[in-house]
Amino acid sequence: MAILRYCSLLILFSLCIDAFAEVPFPERLDGQEFSGVLARSGNVFISAQPTEKGLASLKIQGVATVVNLRTDEEMSGSVPFDEAGTVRDLGMTYVHLPAGGKQAPYTPATLKKFAAALDRADGNVLLHCRSAGRASHLWVAYLVKYKGLSMEDAIAQGRAINFGSTPLEGFLKGEVEYHYVPTSP
């Protein structure tokens, strides 16, 4: 019986290690064709607003799905090309998950839709917003909820992209440690 428990623990431990091994620490890349930030963690690129050339270059790097967090209002006012059309013309899948503002508040449903988009993706994925801030925050939430990373480790990954600091950290003049306490569904 003790051997069976030991084997069960080893299997569980190896599954946990595999889950964490799936999430490499983000690497900052040349963001010249983006509005600043471009990073990669495994098969996910996280960036600021891409240009048409940026989208084409990611297509060459195997990106098959583009997830845009910007609202329609943001896109119509500042992006000089039809992003959805460009993505489709490049043969990639376009997923629009507007997040931010009163019309599109941050919700668990957005996180769930992002996770589903990652599951469906056949190739690399680009997750972006205007500055990579919202994208970093969504990435952190995904790492905690779906990859089992601790809040501390997930935020460290987000900070390597463009997580920024929170107003609370500014008021207190220091880094604040966060703990995730899930609520029942």
CA–CA separation, 142 and 57 (whole Å): 25
Return all residues near 162 (Cβ < 8 A) that are at least 6 apart. Answer: 36, 37, 39, 46, 48, 131, 132, 133, 135, 136
Tell me, yes or no, whether 120 lies in a domain: yes
CA–CA separation, 138 and 119 (whole Å): 15
Q: What is the mean pLDDT of residues 113-132?
A: 97
pLDDT in tens, 62-95: 999 999 999 999 999 789 999 999 999 999 999 9
Question: Residue 62 CB: number of other CB atoms within 10 A?
Answer: 11
Total domain count, the chain: 1
Contact at 8 Å (CB) between 117 and 95?
Answer: yes
Structural domain including 118 reads 22-172
Instruction: Give me the pLDDT at residue 19, please.
Output: 46
Rounded to two decimals, the pTM is 0.85
Tell me, yes or no, whether 2 lies in a domain: no
CA–CA separation, 28 and 159 (whole Å): 11
Tell me, yes or no, whether 11 lies in a domain: no
Q: What is the CATH number of the domain that holds 118?
A: 3.90.190.10
Tell me, yes or no, whether 43 lies in a domain: yes
Tell me, yes or no, whether 4 lies in a domain: no
Instruction: Give me the pLDDT at residue 165, please.
Output: 82
CA–CA separation, 68 and 169 (whole Å): 28
Tell me, yes or no, whether 5 lies in a domain: no
CA–CA separation, 14 and 2 (whole Å): 18
**What residue type is assigned to position 64 of the chain?**
A
pLDDT in tens, 41-64: 999 999 999 999 999 999 999 999
- pLDDT over 50 at 130, yes or no: yes
**What residue type is assigned to position 163 of the chain?**
F
Instruction: Give me the pLDDT at residue 8, please.
Output: 45
- Lay out the sheet containing 44-47: strands in order across: 27-28, 38-41, 44-47, 124-128, 63-68, 93-96
Instruction: Give me the pLDDT at residue 174, please.
Output: 85
Tell me, yes or no, whether 165 lies in a domain: yes
Tell me, yes or no, whether 149 lies in a domain: yes
